[in-house]
Amino acid sequence: MARAPNSIDFWRGLALVTIAIDHIPGNFYEGWTLRNFALSDASQIFVFLAGWAVRLVLSGRKAQADPTAARMRLVRRAWTLYVAQALISAIALGILEAAAWWFDAAFIHDWLNAADFFGDPAGTTLGFLSLGTQLSYFNILPLYVALMLWAPAMAWLDARGPWLALGVSAAIYAVALAFRLNFPNWPGEGGWFLDPFAWQFIFTLGFALAGEAGLGGWARRHSRALTALAVPILVAGLLMVRFKWSPRLADLPEPRLFFIFSKTYLSPALILSMLALAATTRWVFPLVARWAGPVARWASLLGRNSLNVFCVGSVASLLAQIARYWTGGGLAVDTFLVGASVALALFTAWHTEWRASRSPS
């Protein structure tokens, strides 16, 4: 039996839809997603809630009885994510090749930064398998693999003391930003689009805030003050984004990564924006559940099956990109494409649960 609609699944579902829309460049709805109104975007919500979900998994009765086994299951989860990443990358490359052939348009090989693969398939295949090569827009699952390998250590530390995991995580984050530590791209240059050393912090923050002790307990005791603090942070973020303000580089002290708005290194401003959103949106889900039941149920359905929905959504976004190229885009086309993507995601989630409900276990 699938769990009842809840706030976490609801926001995860909305984040998944938002990510899918953000990954169709040039589409009309792209201008209306979270990143146009806040310094943070849907990918940060998704990773934050992934950390939150790890807490929920580990505080289940079965996990409490045997914590070590529960932590090992997180490693197993990392493998599942790795396989999913390899599969959707392969499907995406196949779709690009098919589209390039069908439209006789070699430039489609460039999309998703896949040109290296079509130029050097042998070297790049090793890159894909080592996660050193990632397609553009397909950067979240490799990050997620790395996070799931961190998760057992995080859980172990947390069991030793409620602030310990967060302390270690913050230290790694600070060192990463100070010294620009990142996982390397290979065989290409540069580093991962989403730096795991930086992004583990927001994942661990989600994990910590979901807990009863430590930061989670502290935040619950001070929820009113935190909400009051969050409102001006969000307003400031909104104004910065709408008026395209950013600090003057010359005024910034070193290390600059702490003060700019870098998504790759998840600068503190983005984390603050994410936390402020979390602190001010608790009332949304109950309201939606009461007055727009289907929206709450459907979004939660997506969020409950986030991996499958994410995989199908990634492929759907690529197909939508190709459809926009073919048709020339426009509001009607974009509406159809986004609608079809959401419908496909809902079907995927429904089908996943339908299949599970019929399996003998």
Partner 1 sequence: MARIPFTVLILAAALGLARAAETPAPPPAGAPPTVGTKLSAACDVPANDIANSGSLRNLGAKLARGEPITILAIGSSSTSGIGASSRSRNYPSDLRGILGKALAKAKVTVINRGIAGEVASETADRMRTEVALDRPDLVLWQLGTNDAVAHVDPSDFETTVVDTVRWLHDNGIDVALIGLQYTSRFSRDASYVAIRDALWKVADREHVLYVRRYSAMRFIAKTRAKLKMMAPDNFHLNDLGYECMAEHVAKAVVGALFVKRFRPVAR
Question: Rounded distance, CA 91 to CA 89, Å?
Answer: 5
Q: Which residues pair with 184 in a beta bridge?
A: 191
**How far apart (Å, rounded) are the C-alpha atoms in residues 288 and 295?**
7
Please tell me whether residue 97 binds partner 1 under the rule CB under 8 A: no
Burial per residue of 147-173, b for 16 or more beta-carbon CB atoms within 10 angstroms, e otherwise: bbbbbbebbebbeeebbebbebbeebb
Nearer to partner 1 by Cβ, of 90 and 106: the residue is: 106
By CB under 8 A, residue 263 contacts partner 1: yes
User: Of the two residues 189 and 291, which places its CB atom closer to partner 1 in the complex?
Assistant: 189
The smaller minimum CB distance to partner 1, of residues 122 and 249, is found at 249
Q: How many residues bind partner 1 (CB under 8 A)?
A: 38
Residue 161 engages partner 1 in binding (rule: CB under 8 A): no
Shortest Cβ 217–partner 1 spacing (Å): 35
**Of 262, 280, 281, 308, the one binding partner 1 by CB under 8 A:** 262
CA distance 206 to 203: 5
In terms of phi and psi (left: phi > 0; alpha: psi -120 to 50; beta: otherwise), the region of 266 is left
Q: Based on the shown chain and the rule CB under 8 A, indicate whether residue 106 belongs to the binding site for partner 1.
A: yes
Q: Which of 325, 344, 350, 353 binds partner 1 (CB under 8 A)?
A: 325
Q: What are phi and psi of 184, to 5 degrees?
A: -80, 150
Minimum CB separation of residue 135 from partner 1 in Å reads 9
Residue 160 CB, nearest distance to partner 1 (Å)?
A: 35
CA distance 185 to 130: 9
Nearer to partner 1, 304 or 324 (CB): 324
Q: What is the DSSP string of 124-150?
A: HHHHHHTTSS--TT--HHHHHHHHHHH
Residues that bind partner 1 (CB under 8 A): 25-26, 31, 105-107, 109-116, 119, 136, 180, 189-190, 244, 246, 248-250, 252, 256-257, 260-265, 321, 324-325, 328-329
